[in-house]
Amino acid sequence: MTTRDIKVRMASKLKKITIKDIAKLSGYSIKTVSRVINNEVSVKAETREKIIKVMADNRFQANMFAKGLKGNKTNIIVVFVDRHDNEHLSMWHIILLKYLFNYAKVVGMKIVVSPSSSSSFSLDDTDAFNLITNGLANGVILLETIENDPRVKYFETTNIPYVVFGEPDDMTVPSVSLDNYLVGYKGGAYLIEKGYKNIMFFVGDTTFLSNKKRITGFKNALTEQNVNYKVYTHVNSMEIAYSTAKEIIGKDNIDAFYVSGDERAIGVYRAIHEAGLKIPEDIAVLGVDNLKVGEFLFPPISTIEQDFKEIAILCLDLIANQVKDEQYELTKKTYRLEPMVVERKST
Amino acid sequence: MTTRDIKVRMASKLKKITIKDIAKLSGYSIKTVSRVINNEVSVKAETREKIIKVMADNRFQANMFAKGLKGNKTNIIVVFVDRHDNEHLSMWHIILLKYLFNYAKVVGMKIVVSPSSSSSFSLDDTDAFNLITNGLANGVILLETIENDPRVKYFETTNIPYVVFGEPDDMTVPSVSLDNYLVGYKGGAYLIEKGYKNIMFFVGDTTFLSNKKRITGFKNALTEQNVNYKVYTHVNSMEIAYSTAKEIIGKDNIDAFYVSGDERAIGVYRAIHEAGLKIPEDIAVLGVDNLKVGEFLFPPISTIEQDFKEIAILCLDLIANQVKDEQYELTKKTYRLEPMVVERKST
DNA sequence: TTGTAAGCGTTATCAT
DNA sequence: ATGATAACGCTTACAA
């Protein structure tokens, strides 16, 4: 058996039935079948029914490549997650993706998740970014963005529907986010109100603007209050949160940690426990995100809620309309949700 | 301005440069440009260089739809995550996906994640499954599978490269997994060796075969040992683990929990703490997966390690070769990794 | 209401 | 080593 034989055999096995086949089988022209596929009105009801039956009987599926070549939509939306030093996903992604997956079905879009770097996006075809440059996906949800994100520029110039989850530097960029200034401010204010006097704020990388805003808000809440505080940036993981907390516990009479992210707070919990201290009696902890796991920590963590369901819906609505209708004009393109404190037992 | 005007304007803005343009600009024929694109040998070095320069200057990208229409590969591999009552992802997914994303780059594939149900997969175009039926993706990694998974049948009959992560009922199905029988067995044996006498085993849904095997292994380790045990199935989440543990702690002199999944173990930890008991002095806990978070629990959890990196590499190698070469024959299609106990402080 | 023919951007065939 | 031309499966003018 030659290579060619094998190829032929495979091809026959995979024989896709095309619009041509349906035309032949139904006795109508290709164009009429096409009309039925695309729900055009000018087809006699009887004809439509017949053709639909033939398509169903043969499990016909219109070829996406052919459609795409003619400029059609795939209705695929890609969610880009930052590569983050190759760590990619964290716990809050799980929740957001869950709602994104669910809601995508109701707006008739398909969601696909792929990694992408804000720092080094490339147009070459080893990168998932070319799902976009090729038109394979019709819209983008950018999870996290940095200042002057080159991807944003790309979407703008190429007119590709997109939205960023996070706070971009530029208010003309479509985006959905907690009001991060308020996250910092409310968290700080809450801890002060609770009577804490030495508050350590742990937050991630300041290349992400959201973090910068949290810091500003936090500082504004604490200035001119009779309170000591310190901000630790680049606390990018549970591990770093743990080791940083471990190092400073005991010094400076710390009585509260405000940790940007419940996931990181797990590390802080551990450092406190190891020091033989009690939460909240000796040291309080306030997190952000309201992750499920927070309720199961001991004690359950007080946190700033992030309404991921709402966020998912806003993100998808923002782009789904543009994907469906190129002329669609966004009336409102930036959403800032108000953060709320969820008080549990750690404060 | 008419609708048509807008369309035209957009079109011109988006004007993609094609192989035809490159041909014209370089002074060669379309076919020769195509040869360069596809690295065919029979092109004079000088010609190749000239054409490459023109392509680079114009940021040319070959159109994937056109390629696809001609039967070309996209080198996209889709990872299907089970919808799991709309919860989709859990913590171990984060780790596996991380390695999948990373390793995909080295084998020249693009990874894309999408939800899919083993129970109700559909061929209609609202479902991400048609990334496959349309040939938009060339291979599949199926995260978890059930008995008689209809998707597996589909891949088999259509000859689509795939691999399941998990233990299918059928040994002819390409798969990578921990040896789940051994997971159950080793965990049980370890706890016995440690002297525990009343061991509760928490495990998820038994529609997933992996769980069935863990149970069998566990039981085999414990029978004829002078030990009490009980198996709780359908413990599908942290919450259920928590409430189930809460209900039974105190009864039956339980001295150890063996929890299939570190994530669920977090719930058990909480139940134990709430009861005012100490880990491991009063009750021991052994998890599975070796999640990062396990090291930060208090005390750090002993667990059965799952080598996600190795798993990711095996999964990708298994399909990447088939994607690249249709005639590629798998010499070995099922991998069962040996689980290892990682002892920390909870046992 | 239906059909014919051209074209989307590639690759494959067969020349030269 | 290079090129003309026909596919691939669909949509869109334009006719009928």
What per-residue confidence (pLDDT) applies to B13? 44
Which residues of A fall within a CB distance of 8 Å from B133?
Answer: 61
Chain A contact present for B270, CB below 8 A: yes
Cβ-defined contact of A111 to B93 (cutoff 8 Å): no
* Closest alpha carbon to A181 in A217, A208, A146: A217
In this predicted model, what pLDDT tens digit does every residue of A68-97 receive, in sequence order?
Answer: 998 889 999 999 998 877 788 999 999 999
Closest residue of chain A to B131, computed from CA coordinates = A64
Q: Tell how strand B162-165 and strand B139-143 pair up.
A: parallel
Give the pLDDT band of residue B87 (cuts 50, 70, 90).
confident
Q: Which nucleotides of C are covered by protein (CB under 7 A)?
A: 1-5, 7-13
Give the pLDDT band of residue A12 (cuts 50, 70, 90).
very low
Interface of B with A in 173-212 (CB under 8 A): none
Cβ-defined contact of A6 to B128 (cutoff 8 Å): no
Peptide bond into A299 cis (omega under 30): yes
Interface of B with A in 74-93 (CB under 8 A): 74-76, 78, 83, 86-91, 93
Cα→Cα distances B265→A145, A248, B299, Å: 34, 29, 12
Cβ-defined contact of A125 to B75 (cutoff 8 Å): yes
Q: Is the CB of B35 under 7 A from strand D?
A: yes
Distance, in Å, from the CA atom of B340 to the CA atom of B190, rounded to the nearest integer, reads: 10
Question: Would you say B232 and B205 are in contact if contact means Cβ atoms under 8 Å apart?
Answer: no
Cβ-defined contact of B86 to A93 (cutoff 8 Å): no
Cα→Cα distances B144→A170, B205, B231, Å: 42, 12, 21
CB-defined contacts A:B, below 8 A: 181
Question: Would you say B162 and B132 are in contact if contact means Cβ atoms under 8 Å apart?
Answer: no
Distance, in Å, from the CA atom of A256 to the CA atom of A281, rounded to the nearest integer, reads: 10
What per-residue confidence (pLDDT) applies to A174? 95
Peptide bond into B300 cis (omega under 30): no
Average pLDDT in the B43-55 region? 91
| Ranges A35-44, A115-124, B157-166, B219-228: which has the least confidence | A115-124
More confident residue, B274 or B123: B274
Bridge partners (DSSP) of residue A341 are A304
Chain B contact present for A9, CB below 8 A: no
The token duo for B239 is 């919450």
Q: Which nucleotide lies nearest residue B30, CA to C1'?
A: D3
Task: Give the sign of the dihedral formed by CA B287, CA B290, CA B291, CA B295.
Answer: positive
Comparing CB atoms, the residue among B83, B123, B326 nearest residue A61 is B123
Distance, in Å, from the CA atom of B34 to the CA atom of A155, rounded to the nearest integer, reads: 28
What per-residue confidence (pLDDT) applies to B249? 95
Distance, in Å, from the CA atom of A170 to the CA atom of B275, rounded to the nearest integer, reads: 51
Cβ-defined contact of A61 to B112 (cutoff 8 Å): no
Provide CB contacts within 8 A for A316, sequence distance 6+.
Answer: A77, A100, A103, A104, A107, A109, A141
* Closest alpha carbon to B302 in B277, B268, B275, B336: B268
Q: Is the CB of B7 under 7 A from strand D?
A: no
Chain A contact present for B120, CB below 8 A: no
Is a pLDDT exceeding 80 seen at residue B123? no
Average pLDDT in the B177-186 region? 97
List phi, psi (to 5°) of B209: -60, -35
Cβ-defined contact of B10 to A159 (cutoff 8 Å): yes
Distance, in Å, from the CA atom of A26 to the CA atom of A245, rounded to the nearest integer, reads: 72
Cβ-defined contact of B86 to A68 (cutoff 8 Å): no
Average pLDDT in the A94-123 region? 89
Judged by DSSP in three states, A266 sits in: helix
Distance, in Å, from the CA atom of A153 to the CA atom of A145, rounded to the nearest integer, reads: 12
User: What length is written for chain A?
Assistant: 347
Provide CB contacts within 8 A for A104, sequence distance 6+.
Answer: A77, A110, A111, A316
| Ranges A268-277, B167-176, B319-328: which has the least confidence | B319-328
The amino acid at residue A121 is F
Average pLDDT in the B74-92 region? 89
What per-residue confidence (pLDDT) applies to B152? 93
The amino acid at residue A181 is Y
Give the pLDDT band of residue A3 (cuts 50, 70, 90).
very low
For chain B, the first-to-last Cα distance in angstroms comes to 75
Q: Is the CB of B134 under 7 A from strand D?
A: no
Closest residue of chain A to B276, computed from CA coordinates = A298
DSSP A156: H
In angstroms, the CA of A176 and the C1' of C16 are apart by 61
Question: Would you say B134 and B286 are in contact if contact means Cβ atoms under 8 Å apart?
Answer: no
Within 10 angstroms of residue A41's Cβ, the number of other Cβ atoms is 6
Cβ-defined contact of B65 to A61 (cutoff 8 Å): no
The amino acid at residue A280 is P
In angstroms, the CA of A80 and the C1' of C11 are apart by 31
| Ranges A65-79, A317-331, B251-265: which has the least confidence | A317-331
Which residues of A fall within a CB distance of 8 Å from B115?
Answer: 101, 111
Is a pLDDT exceeding 50 seen at residue B7? no
Closest residue of chain B to A108, computed from CA coordinates = B126
The amino acid at residue A295 is E
Is a pLDDT exceeding 60 seen at residue A9? no
β-sheet with A334-337: strand ranges across: A334-337, A175-178, A162-165, A139-143, A76-82, A110-116, B110-116, B76-82, B139-143, B162-165, B175-178, B334-337
Cβ-defined contact of B114 to A115 (cutoff 8 Å): no
Is a pLDDT exceeding 90 seen at residue A208? no
What per-residue confidence (pLDDT) applies to B11? 36
In the block, residue with structure tokens 């055009």: A40
Give the pLDDT band of residue A6 (cuts 50, 70, 90).
very low
In angstroms, the CA of B18 and the C1' of C9 are apart by 7
The token duo for B262 is 């570190």
In the block, residue with structure tokens 């009980």: B230
H-state helical runs in chain B? 3-14, 19-26, 30-37, 45-57, 64-69, 91-106, 130-133, 150-158, 180-193, 209-222, 238-248, 262-274, 308-324
Distance, in Å, from the CA atom of B29 to the CA atom of B25, rounded to the nearest integer, reads: 10
Q: Is the CB of A11 under 7 A from strand D?
A: no
β-sheet with B198-202: strand ranges across: B228-232, B198-202, B256-259, B284-289, B302-305, B340-342
Q: Is the CB of A152 under 7 A from strand D?
A: no
Average pLDDT in the A45-62 region? 91
Q: Is the CB of A198 under 7 A from strand D?
A: no
Average pLDDT taken over every residue of chain A = 90
The token duo for B213 is 């095997």
pTM: 0.91
Within 10 angstroms of residue B110's Cβ, the number of other Cβ atoms is 23
Distance, in Å, from the CA atom of A255 to the CA atom of A244, rounded to the nearest integer, reads: 15
Distance, in Å, from the CA atom of A269 to the CA atom of A245, rounded to the nearest integer, reads: 9
Q: Tell how strand B175-178 and strand B162-165 pair up.
A: parallel
Distance, in Å, from the CA atom of B305 to the CA atom of B300, rounded to the nearest integer, reads: 14
Closest residue of chain B to A299, computed from CA coordinates = B270
